[in-house]
Structure 1
Amino acid sequence: MAEYAKSARIRAGIIDACARVFKESGFHGSSMAQIARDAEISYTGLLHHFPRKEQLLTAVLDLEDQRRAAFLREHRTFAADADPVQVLRELSAMLLDRRTEPGLIQLTAVLVGEATSTAHPAHEHFVARFANIRSFLTRLFTRLHDEGRTSGALSPAEMAAVTIATIDGLQTQWLFTPAEIDTEKLVRGLLSVLVPELAQDADRGM
């Protein structure tokens, strides 16, 4: 048991170091030797836990997506009497909470940029991630649309795509000029346009 706990701590330290290295150099620009140095572990020790850099990438992406995946699993089929507006509030709050972790946002920005290439090992991961979030939001907006609670300017699928693009784009801008970009205010402003009853949230700064 003690040996297992020690191994888990070492693996966690390696993944943290890998995230730092990927954030600075990207996947293609980093090396296993560089990751080993940052993790303060021997190269042989690194290979014992992660023989290939692609395995490290998978571990980092899994860590980055844990909270988002847990939320989507919990709300994948929300009850008929659940208010989709409240679910939307919770989802946007969860996504926006990442702004307090600039390293995590920067890491994601670097990897997403690289992974647009179909040859990148994380390409399919991000294709699936965007598809899952887009599908979830589309179902939320569809229900709101069917209840007559959306502005009607865009289809539910279009509202989902615009919401994701706005959150990701604003977080990237926030990395460059955090004092000038109020991500929460701007996202709430967008949502209040798509779902008018959310205007009260934007007015209250909720």
Structure 2
Amino acid sequence: MTDTATPTRYANGLARRAQIVEAARELFISDGFRAVSLRDIAARSGLSHPGLLRHFASKDEILAEIVAALEAPNEAEIETVADDAVPLEDIVQVARRNQTTPGYLELFMTLAGEATVAGHPTHAAFRDRYRRLLALSAERIEAGRDAGRLPGVTDPRGESIRLAAAWDGLQLLSLYTGGAIDPATHLARHAAQLRGDRLPAVDAVATAPPLPPVPVDAEAAGYRPGRENRRTIVAAATALFARGGFHATSLREIGEQAGVPKSTLLHHFSSKDDLLIAVLEARDAEVSSVPLDDGSDPLERVGLIIAEARRSAREFPGLIEFYVVLSCEAATPSHPAHEYFRHRYELVRAHFVGLFRQLAAAGHLAPGRDPEHEGVWLVALWDGLQIQWLYDPDAVDVAAELSAYFEQVLA
């Protein structure tokens, strides 16, 4: 009797886990990972909260299982590419499958952002995944270069880093543009450039209006103690949002971190949403020294981009972590920072497209390079490099990889 009951209980347990995972997947896609609680998942699964905890100890554990199942066929395909395959075509095919798999982009980028925090339970697993796939990619790219099939490659290891980074960044951009940015199309174009193929043009990108400036009273107005309290609150919120995400952080925790009572916090910020926007504006004001189109020499602006990346890694590592975690979390349209990031991506993309157009007009762009594609690629590459850097800062140098990219793209 025991022998019969044990397999039955085991099968029932597996079925219940699958039921929980599917309920969580639906909720994470519709409402966003941080906005969903374990109790929400239990209710959707038809379980009690204690009943769910017998199978999963946390939301992170459920999300990791979902993403692992989504990633398994991708890794299998990448690892079994035939020697006579078109170089890098497997990556394009995987990207296309990801884009048509319901929820893949949302869930993968959520976990990729969440797990950049060193204390996250899947941080080491994600770091090892990047190391494994980068090593495999570098080996394949080097073989393709040596066989004369990738003449556009000079540094296989660096190319593998930049390719993986741009892929992550393109997936994130796709979520903020309603699919208008197509990762597979841009990956295919980049692969064709490395192969030396003839390339079609890319549709133009409209110039976006600038982001609104930081309100005057955000920093300058008011008495000095009030300004100091405001800065302290913003700094505390930045640290906590980076560590636990926006939804999981309470105003009470922010007040305790800042050392101010909740009444003082609410005097400066009427809601957590207002505080979030102040944090984002403060982050932009702190780290960005790259001018937009101010009529200066486009080559000088390229140098400023590289210098900005180097300065950010040296002086503002916490803000990079905050930006990565929140930009991935806010990809859900219902998130209060979604519109901010969507608008910001429009602005930066239009700026970089304009920069490459100016470089082309001045004769600085290499033959076959398209300003529309390169503007999108640079946005994606920079964001993706920051993700990789948070996982493996000793192996990834954001400024150096951006510099190597510009060496490829400039005449």
Offset of 1:69 from its aligned partner? 6.0
Task: List structure 1 runs of 4+ shifted beyond 6 angstroms.
Answer: none
Equivalents in 2 of 1:91, 1:182: separation in Å? 14
- Report if the CA contact (8 A) 2:236-2:257 is conserved: yes
* Distance in 2 between residues matched to 1:117 and 1:158, nearest whole Å: 25
The alpha-carbon deviation at position 50 of structure 1 amounts to 1.3
In 2, Cα distance between equivalents of 1:152 and 1:118: 39
**Residues 111-122 of structure 1 aligned to structure 2 (within 5 Å):** 111-122=326-337
C-alpha deviation, 1:76, in angstroms? 2.6
CA distance in 2, matches of 1:46, 1:143: 46
Q: Which residue identity does 1:160 align to in structure 2?
A: G
Cross-structure match for 1:86: 300
Q: Give the structure with the higher percent helix.
A: 1
Q: After TM superposition, list the pairs within 5 Å mapping 1:32-111 onto structure 2.
A: 32-67=251-286, 71-72=290-291, 75-78=292-295, 82-100=296-314, 101-111=316-326
Amino acid aligned to 1:47: L
Matches of 2:298 and 2:362, distance apart in 1: 10
What's the CA shift for 1:83?
2.4
Could you give the per-residue CA deviations for residues 37-68 of structure 1, whole angstroms, max 9, x where no partner exists? 11111122211221200011011000111156
Greater alpha carbon shift after TM alignment, 54-63 vs 98-107: 98-107
Q: In 1, Cα distance between the equivalents of 2:379 and 2:306?
A: 10
Q: Which residue of 1 aligns with 2:242?
A: 23
1:21/1:30 contact within 8 Å kept: yes
5+ residue gaps, structure 2: 1-221
Structure-2 residue corresponding to 1:184: 399
Please point out which of 162, 173, 198 is paired with 2:377: 162
CA distance in 2, matches of 1:71, 1:173: 22
- The letter of the residue matching 1:17 is A
State which of 344, 348, 373 in structure 2 corresponds to 1:129: 344
Which of these two proteins has the greater Rg computed from alpha carbons?
2
SS in structure 2 at match of 1:150: coil
Cα deviation 1:91-148 (Å, max 9, x = unaligned): 3322442112211010001110111111111111111111111111111110211233
Gaps of 5+ in 1: 197-206
Question: RMSD across aligned C-alpha pairs, in angstroms?
Answer: 1.7
Residues of 2 paired with 1:69 and 1:105: CA distance?
12
Cα distance in structure 1, aligned partners of 2:310 and 2:340? 21
Q: Identical aligned pairs, as a percentage?
A: 30
Query: 1:142 aligns to what?
Result: 357
Residues 36 and 42 of structure 1 are in contact (CA less than 8 Å); yes or no, is this contact kept in structure 2?
yes
For residues 233 and 241 of structure 2, the distance between their equivalents in structure 1, rounded to whole angstroms, comes to 12
Aligned length: 189
Higher relative contact order (CA 8 A, sep 6+): 2
Whether 2:228 is the aligned partner of 1:14: answer no
